[in-house]
Chain A
Amino acid sequence: MHRTLLLGRRLARIPALAVILSLAVMMAATSPLAAQVPGCSTAGFPRTVVDGLGNEILLPEPPQRIFSAVFAMDSILLAIADPDRVVGVTVFSADPSQSAVADKVADHMVRIEHLSPEVVFAAQPDLVLTAFYSNPDAVTQIRNLGLPVYTFTGFNGLLDVLDNVERMGEITGCEAAASAIIEQTYANYGRVAAKIASLPRPTVLSWNTWGNTTGTETTVHDIIQMAGGENLAARHGISGWKEIDVEAIIAMDPEVIITSDGDAFVQKLLNDPVLQSVTAVRTGRVYNLNHAIATDHHIFRAVEELAQHLHPEAFR
Chain B
Amino acid sequence: MIQTSRGVGHSLVIVILVGLLVASMALAVAVGVVRIPYLDSLRVIVGKLIPAIGKGAQAGPFEAIIWSIRMPRVLIAGLAGFALAVSGAAMQGLFKNPLASPGITGVSSGASLGAAIAILLGTQVINPWLVPAGGFIGALTAAVIVYALATQRGKTDGATLLLAGVAVSAFSSAVLSGLYQFTDDVVMREIIYWLMGNLTGKRWDHVATVGPIVLVGSVALMAFAAELNMLAAGEDDARAMGVNVERTKRWTLGLVAVVTGAAISVVGLIGFVGLIVPHTMRMIVGPDHKRLLPASGLLGATFLILCDLLARIIFAPVELQTGVVTAFFGVPFFLALLVRRRELVGWS
Please list the residues of chain A having a beta carbon within 8 angstroms of any beta carbon in chain B.
Answer: 1-2, 5-6, 8-9, 53, 91, 110-119, 121-122, 124, 132-133, 135-141, 144-145, 153, 155, 240-243
Contacts and interface: CB of A to CB of B under 8 A. Distances in A.
A8 B68 contact: no
A5 B128 contact: no
5 contacts: A1-B189, A2-B185, A110-B317, A114-B200, A144-B203
Contacts of A91: 318
Nearest to B34: A122
Given A117-B69, A122-B65, A132 B32 contact: no
B125 interface: yes
Nearest to A114: B319
Contacts of B198: 135
Contacts of A137: 128, 200-203, 206
Given A121-B69, A138-B201, A145-B69, 4 more contacts: A121-B65, A132-B122, A141-B69, A240-B184
Contacts of B327: none
Contacts of B65: 118, 121-122
Contact of A5 (B181, B185, B190): B185
Contacts of B189: 1, 133
B184 A116 contact: no
B249 interface: no
A139 to B, nearest CB: 7
B289 interface: no
Most chain B CB neighbours (cut-off 10 Å) among A117, A139, A141, A144: A141
Interface majority SS (helix, strand, loop, mixed), chain A: mixed
A29 B131 CA distance: 51
Contact of B203 (A122, A132, A141, A242): A141
Contacts of B184: 5, 8-9, 240-241
Contact of B319 (A5, A113, A121, A240): A113
B203 A6 contact: no
Nearest to A2: B185
A124 B69 CA distance: 14
Contacts of A1: 185, 189
B333 to A, nearest CB: 26
Given A116-B33, A119-B34, A155 B317 contact: no
Most B CB contacts (10 A, CB to CB) among A53, A110, A117, A241 go to A117
Contacts of A141: 68-69, 201-203
A136 B185 CA distance: 17
Contacts of A155: 186
B124 interface: yes
Nearest to A122: B34
B70 A118 contact: yes
Contacts of A145: 64, 68-69
B34 A118 contact: yes
Nearest to B194: A135
Contact of B318 (A113, A124, A138, A241): A113
Select the residue from B190, B193, B203 with max chain A CB neighbours within 10 A. Answer: B203
A112 B131 CA distance: 24
Contacts of B125: 53, 132, 136, 153
B69 A118 contact: yes
Nearest to A131: B186
B186 A5 contact: yes
B133 interface: no
Nearest to B189: A1
B194 to A, nearest CB: 9
Interface string B300-333: 0000000000000000011100000000000000
Contacts of A53: 125
Given A91-B318, A118-B34, A136 B200 contact: no
B237 to A, nearest CB: 48
Nearest to B122: A132
Contacts of A135: 193, 198, 200-201
A144 B186 contact: no
A242 B181 contact: yes
A5 B186 CA distance: 7
B117 interface: no
Interface string B196-223: 0010111100100000000000000000
A113 B312 CA distance: 12
A113 to B, nearest CB: 5
B185 A241 contact: yes
- Leading 8 A-B pairs by shortest Cβ distance: A137-B201, A5-B185, A138-B201, A136-B128, A136-B124, A122-B34, A141-B201, A113-B318
A137 B184 CA distance: 21
Contacts of B203: 137, 140-141, 144
Interface string B278-309: 00000000000000000000000000000000
Given A9-B184, A144-B68, A119 B200 contact: no
Interface in B245-290: none
B187 interface: yes
A107 to B, nearest CB: 14
Contacts of A242: 181
Contacts of A124: 61
A122 B65 CA distance: 8
Contacts of B182: 240
Contacts of B70: 118
Nearest to B193: A135
B282 to A, nearest CB: 34
B200 A121 contact: no
Given A121-B69, A155-B186, A139 B319 contact: no
A17 B202 CA distance: 42
Contacts of B206: 137
Contacts of A136: 124-125, 128, 131, 201
